[in-house]
Chains A and B, each alone.
Chain A
Amino acid sequence: MPVLVAVLDADVLVPIVPCDFLLSAFDLGLYEPVVSTAVIEEVERTLAEDFPNLTPEAVRYRVEAMRSALEDQLVTPDPDAAPDAVNAKDRHVVAAAQAGEAAALVSNDRRLRGQVTTAADGIDALSLDEFALRLWKRSPKDVNRVIDALVAKRQRPPVTRAEMLDALAGPLPSLIAAIRSMRESTF
């Protein structure tokens, strides 16, 4: 199966558990992410806004670790290459998809997805949930490995698989419904 290359928008890397899911799915080879420096900077800004209790040092620590995990996935896009129909502030995301030859753009921004669907040929605009479901359809076994890896990583306190599925059910409802329905039909 050819590797699925997907550009990630900042809004899918900010929420904590979905970010873990995306990074672990990359680590286990389910897809190949592409990000731009501008996206990483936006993640840093948004983390500071969404988590006001975090110190600037804590935000920087998290973002530096993300940057390290994604170091070789960084592309330098030319925003001018993005279609004119795309909103100016989001052009760098579409340009990153073009620079990385990504087949998918993952964003929870409905307006951006609409613009990409209309104006950017060859790039599938997907919400995070749709993207996760696509990974599942490509390989349920591999997505289960991701869930197992997420459970195994958590130590303080440990979490069960059921608790992990509950935590992912909010941001990834279609994926978790598919996982649960398969387990129910299996047992």
Chain B
Amino acid sequence: MLTAEERDRVREALDRAGGRPRVVTADGTVLDLPEPVAEALAEVLEAAADGERPLVLRSPDDLTTEQAADVLGVSRPTVVRLIDAGKLPARMVGTHRRVTLADVLAYRAASAERRHEALERITRQAEDLGLYD
């Protein structure tokens, strides 16, 4: 984790780059980065400045359960539970479970939708029944 001072430094760098980071080489040459790379780098800096742990995934295939947990914002035991319950497809590589990023993102979207819908129902019913009064 970054210290508060380090986070401030990252924030300042991001602000001064105008949200579009570039690379400056040792001899002072400024190198523009392709748009998607600059955007990804800005995301990493933004997360770091917010005190979060940036996560870079290079391969869309074969996430470990630990990486899947990071993407989902849950603990690793929860990912294992989801796999065992058949809610997250997985395959075995040797003795390790592997999941695809596509499956993890599909699960994340579906579970978020279900949760939002449930929370909406809870609030509407509480309002209708005067439970907030």
**Could you list which residues of chain A lie within 8 angstroms of chain B, going by C-beta atoms?**
1, 3, 5, 16-17, 19-20, 23-24, 26-27, 29, 32, 51, 54, 58, 61-62, 65-66, 68-69, 71-73, 75, 100-101, 139, 141, 153-156, 159, 167
**Could you list which residues of chain B lie within 8 angstroms of chain A, going by C-beta atoms?**
1, 50-53, 69, 73-75, 77-78, 81-82, 85, 87, 111-112, 114-123, 125-129, 131-132
Query: Cα distance A68–B120 when bound, in Å?
Result: 12
Q: Are A65 and B132 in contact (CB under 8 A)?
A: no
Residue contacts A-B, CB under 8 angstroms, 29 given: A1-B51, A3-B74, A3-B75, A5-B77, A16-B126, A16-B132, A19-B122, A26-B115, A27-B112, A32-B75, A51-B131, A54-B129, A58-B129, A62-B122, A62-B125, A65-B118, A65-B125, A68-B115, A69-B115, A69-B118, A69-B122, A71-B114, A72-B85, A73-B78, A100-B75, A153-B119, A153-B123, A154-B123, A154-B132
Which residue of chain A has its CB nearest to the CB of B74?
A32
Chain A neighbourhood of B118, CB < 8 A:
65-66, 68-69
Query: Cα distance A54–B130 when bound, in Å?
Result: 10
Query: Cα distance A19–B77 when bound, in Å?
Result: 24
Q: Are A32 and B81 in contact (CB under 8 A)?
A: no
Q: Are A72 and B120 in contact (CB under 8 A)?
A: no
Extra A-B contacts (18), CB below 8 Å, given A24-B119, A100-B77: A3-B74, A3-B75, A5-B78, A27-B115, A32-B75, A58-B129, A62-B125, A65-B119, A65-B121, A68-B117, A68-B118, A69-B118, A72-B78, A72-B81, A139-B51, A141-B50, A155-B127, A156-B128
Which residue of chain A has its CB nearest to the CB of B78?
A32
Query: Cα distance A72–B83 when bound, in Å?
Result: 11
Q: Are A27 and B116 in contact (CB under 8 A)?
A: yes
Chain A neighbourhood of B120, CB < 8 A:
153
Which residue of chain A has its CB nearest to the CB of B88?
A72
Query: Cα distance A100–B74 when bound, in Å?
Result: 11
